[in-house]
Structure 1
């Protein structure tokens, strides 16, 4: 019997490949939202032409409970100056005004699944998670 923990199943239709995400952005049909904390972007770098909306700050701002790990990551960085109104203004501008897909990207593709699910629960059905996240993008850049 395998003692490894089973991988969590990705809900159907919630994830998109990096290649497809980049092509949709290139065509102007989608916007990539980097949901990592500011310090992660400063340390590891950013994907060009992404919009930065830190997930844990958004969850906290909307009254969602954070796990202990999420709180630790949030505490490690400098908070972004964002309130509920500016969050929804940003998301509405991207989603409704442009009828864009909202492509959430994190470091590895796990937190972005939670971000896409959160956006969908808030009424943004075109939210998706980019598989592999920043690590996949970095690998693609390195050839």
Structure 2
């Protein structure tokens, strides 16, 4: 059963949420996981793609957008459902990914934007009510 961690940032901008996703991605990548980052749109996917190259001066996370992915361990997509390498899912969408249960672990990335918090609470309740192991980190 998927282990789900909620990471809640203290700010309310998309950029801050994406940087938090970069931090979580770095940790998962360092542990050797294959990471699938699910976003809400092509625009968000492209912003994260650019940010993963520059967010930290000493960081290097090889990655690709799903339409250009070959064997990368980190994939970014908004409309792609992976069937293999399902170690870690990072959800940047404001909806529950339909395919989340294929993954061993999932990180839900939230910030202080009211809609994002409200929808995050709904997803938390959904997972809790179905018996998923949940962790919560206020950052």
TM-score range, shorter chain: 0.3 to 0.5
Higher relative contact order (CA 8 A, sep 6+): 2
Question: TM-score w.r.t. structure 2 length?
Answer: 0.35
Higher Rg of the two aligned structures: 1
> If each structure's helix is expressed as a fraction of its own residues, which one has the higher value?
1
